[in-house]
Amino acid sequence: IIVNSFMIRYTIKCKGKCAAEFEGQFPDKKSFTKQRRDGMIQCPMCDGHNLRFISLRTKITKNPDLRLT
């Protein structure tokens, strides 16, 4: 468990045929990249793993229970 109040909110886009967009929060870009590479992140619409982030937004999240992970 990572206890960190600073999270990066990624808007993630599926590069598959559904082209869905969704959000995820990670403590840093390295965590996002590793989880994506290891197949731990998948598209909620088509279960695809061919994903990329299209924007970054920072958010201070004081309550770990409110994080979108």
Q: 30 is written with which tokens?
A: 């390295």
Q: Does position 66 have pLDDT exceeding 80, yes or no?
A: no
Name the token pair of 36: 């994506």
Tokens 């992140």, located at residue? 41
Other CB atoms within 10 A of residue 29 CB: 12
State the Cα–Cα distance between residues 63 and 55, nearest whole angstrom: 23
pLDDT (tens digit, 9 = 90+) per residue, 14-64?
999 999 999 888 888 888 889 989 999 999 999 999 998 876 655 555 555
Question: Residue 69: its pLDDT value, please?
Answer: 46
Handedness of CA 20, 7, 63, 3 (dihedral sign): positive
Q: How open is the CA angle 22-11-7, to the nearest 5 degrees?
A: 110
pTM score of the predicted model: 0.63
